[in-house]
Amino acid sequence: MFTELLLTTLARFLSGASVRWIDCQPDTCQRVYFANHTSHLDMILIWSALPHDVRKLTRPVAAKDYWDRGPIRRYMAKTYNALLVDRKEIKVHQSPVDVMLREIGSTDSLIIFPEGGRTAGETVGEFKSGLYYLSKKRPDLELVPVHIDNMNRVLPRGEFLPVPLLSCITFGPPMWLEAGETKNDFLTRARDAVRRLKEVD
Amino acid sequence: MTARDWLLAAVVVALLGTATAVGQIVQRQPHLSLNTAALTTFNRRIRVWWIFYALLLVAFFSPTLTVAIFGLMSFEALREFITLTPTRRADHRALFWTLIFFTPMQYIFVAYNYYALYSIFIPVYAFLFIPARVAMAGDYKRFLERVAKIQSGLLICVYCLSFAPALLYLDINNALPGAKARLLFFFVTMALLSEAFQFIWSQLYGRHVIAPTINATRTWEGLVGGSASTALAGMALWWATPFEQLWQAAFMAMVVAIMGFAGAMTMSAIKRDRGVQDYGTLVEGHGGVLDRIDAICFAAPVFYHITRQIFGIK
């Protein structure tokens, strides 16, 4: 609880994040927040941008190979109730999507970064297919696009000291997998939904 | 607090109250066909000035705390400045030192009254460090331009602003701490008044816009009329200042008005270049810290140094 408060305050201070909800409201219904990924602080940032009651029911999905290394990272992952997913060893009945769906049950929401890793931040990279399979297996989940602006300048890849500039987190209108939509079409549409949020004033 | 302190506080409250009332009344008169955008800006500014003055009351009790408040304002203003200025990946380390080291150090030196250090710390040491650090990062693309951006931000947002709380440490004829706090209030009040006067003069008599591409609301009439009015206001508040002569108070007020104008113009130019209206989104739709303090930033070091000259402080 204390660690959570401390880390959240610190992350907010370092990122000076302003939070915007565009055609979307915070809600405790089951959702998948999918965002562009440019820094290690992204997970904490989106999580702390959510209201407290939503936060309690939201689990960020993070890479096991990064967050399971060393006691500090493990502790932080635990504080954020992170759902650690193995990027390396993917087994048939233990696919990340199956693990995620099993873990959230019928109450929790997810934060995922479909690019699969951090990018330089100028553009949003191609999405991995996890988002598609998630919504194919659970079409009732609301998919909320999230755009994180400027975090690539706060803590770029390869740097460990953050520069406390101002960033902006934008939550966009929820979307769903349309009937008969192909994987590629859906992933392109999802990626465009994130990219579009960058342009909104 | 002495009687003079209370009187100055009363004057400030009366001024802000009047400005608030005028702004609200004019806003409800659509037939006057005034520049609505400028009027909204004006009303917002007044609202922020209320908060600013409330914070500044600390100056009467603790100079150190006042320095801390200005330090936080600098920090916020600088991060707004850098956020809106494109930097490259290789500037990261230089930016880190600028925000995490140079900014707090400048205010620590002010709080300890090391004038010999804080008057050169940024223009010499920081300004030499920044290009060297950027060069070490190995990216030479638009090198001078990038260095200049970081240096300008540090100079305007941190170095210049730090001279406002430094007024509290001036050794003026063994004056009481209250007199120094009043000097800071006088300075801030003149900045506020010049803002208001220039706005009113521009609205009423403005014919010749100085640079329409930069700021369409700043006119020559506004500058001249506003500065003259501010000088008169400075004379009226002479009793609150440590200045011995009436003309000194008037002159200092005019200096604040002209420098405040220079600051607003400069920041407008930077904003136009970046294609933005305001610097930050700290409070939804209220602009940023930097939008509110641009005038003070430019006026503070000049006001401080002329005051030193007037009192012959070595």
Tally A–B CB contacts below 8 A: 37
Cβ of A168 within 8 Å of Cβ of B281? The answer is yes
DSSP-assigned letter for residue A92:
S
pLDDT at B104 over 90: yes
Q: How do residues A108-132 score in pLDDT, each as one tens digit?
A: 999 999 887 787 777 888 888 889 9
pLDDT band (50, 70, 90) for residue A173: very high
pLDDT band (50, 70, 90) for residue A89: low
Q: In sequence order, which ranges of chain B are alpha helices (DSSP H)?
A: 3-27, 36-56, 63-84, 92-97, 103-111, 115-118, 127-136, 143-153, 163-166, 177-205, 220-236, 246-274, 289-310
CA-angle at A164, arms to B298 and A155, nearest 5° = 140
Q: Which of A163-172, B114-123, B219-228 has the lowest mean pLDDT?
A: A163-172
pLDDT band (50, 70, 90) for residue A201: low
Out of A120, A150, A164, whose CB is closest to B99? A164
Q: What are the angstrom distances between the C-alpha of A51 and each of A7, A120, B196?
A: 15, 29, 40
Residue A33 near residue A43 (C-beta atoms within 8 A): no
- Three-class DSSP category at A175: strand
CA atoms A41, A42, A43, A49: torsion sign? positive
Nearest-angstrom CA–CA distance, B305 and B250: 16
Q: How many residues does chain B have?
A: 314
pLDDT of residue B34: 64
Q: How do residues B199-213 score in pLDDT, each as one tens digit?
A: 889 888 888 999 888
Mean pLDDT of B33-56: 79
Nearest to B156 by CA among B18, B241, B252, B271: B271
Nearest-angstrom CA–CA distance, A186 and A178: 8
Percentage of chain B beyond pLDDT 70 is 93
CA dihedral A36, A41, A43, A49 (to 10 degrees): -100
A157 in B contact zone (CB under 8 Å): no
Q: B49 or B67: which carries more pLDDT confidence?
A: B67
Which phi and psi angles does B117 have, rounded to 5°? -90, -50
Strands A31-35 and A168-171: unpaired
pLDDT at B228 over 90: yes
Q: How far is CA B52 from the centre of its chain?
A: 12
As given in the structure block, the two tokens for residue B245 are: 């002569």
Which span out of A158-162, B48-52, B138-142 was modeled with the highest average pLDDT?
Answer: B138-142
Nearest to B58 by CA among B66, B48, B49: B66
Nearest to A55 by CA among A34, A27, A36: A27
As given in the structure block, the two tokens for residue B310 are: 């007037």
Which strands, in side-by-side order, build the sheet including A109-112? A18-21, A168-171, A142-149, A31-35, A109-112, A58-63, A83-85
Nearest-angstrom CA–CA distance, B235 and B250: 5
Amino acid (one-letter) located at B200: I
* Neighbouring C-beta atoms of residue B129, cutoff 10 Å: 16
* Neighbouring C-beta atoms of residue B204, cutoff 10 Å: 11
CA dihedral A77, A80, A81, A85 (to 10 degrees): -50
Cβ of B92 within 8 Å of Cβ of A150? The answer is no
Percentage of chain B beyond pLDDT 90 is 52
A153 in B contact zone (CB under 8 Å): yes
Instruction: Find tokens 């947002």 and name the residue.
Output: B157
pLDDT of residue B307: 93
Distance from CA of A151 to the nearest CA of B (A): 10
Residue A104 near residue A58 (C-beta atoms within 8 A): no
ipTM above 0.90, yes or no: no
Cβ of A163 within 8 Å of Cβ of B280? The answer is no
Residue A143 near residue A32 (C-beta atoms within 8 A): yes
Mean pLDDT of A53-82: 86
Residue of B78, B82, B83, B158 to mutate, testing the A interface (most A Cβ within 10 Å of its Cβ): B83
Residue A117 near residue A85 (C-beta atoms within 8 A): no
- Three-class DSSP category at A85: strand
Between positions 172 and 201 of A, the ones with CB within 8 A of B are none
Q: How do residues B117-149 score in pLDDT, each as one tens digit?
A: 999 999 999 999 999 999 999 999 999 999 999
Amino acid (one-letter) located at B183: L
Helix (H) or strand (E) holding A79, with range, is helix A71-79
| Longest CA–CA separation in chain A, Å | 47
Cβ of A150 within 8 Å of Cβ of B281? The answer is no
CA atoms A194, A196, A199, A200: torsion sign? negative
- Three-class DSSP category at A62: strand
Distance from CA of B64 to the nearest CA of A (A): 23
B277 in A contact zone (CB under 8 Å): no
Mean pLDDT of B142-171: 94
Mean pLDDT of A167-175: 91
Nearest-angstrom CA–CA distance, B107 and B48: 23
Query: Residues with Cβ < 8 Å from A159, sequence gap 6 or more?
Result: B92, B93
As given in the structure block, the two tokens for residue A34 are: 């999918």
As given in the structure block, the two tokens for residue A149 are: 């602006």
Residue B80: closest C-alpha in chain A: A166
Nearest-angstrom CA–CA distance, A74 and A72: 5
Residue A120 near residue A87 (C-beta atoms within 8 A): no
Distance from CA of A150 to the nearest CA of B (A): 8
pLDDT of residue A78: 84
Nearest-angstrom CA–CA distance, B26 and B155: 37
Out of A156, A159, A165, whose CB is closest to B83? A165
Nearest-angstrom CA–CA distance, B18 and B50: 12
Mean pLDDT of A154-163: 85
Nearest-angstrom CA–CA distance, B185 and B124: 30
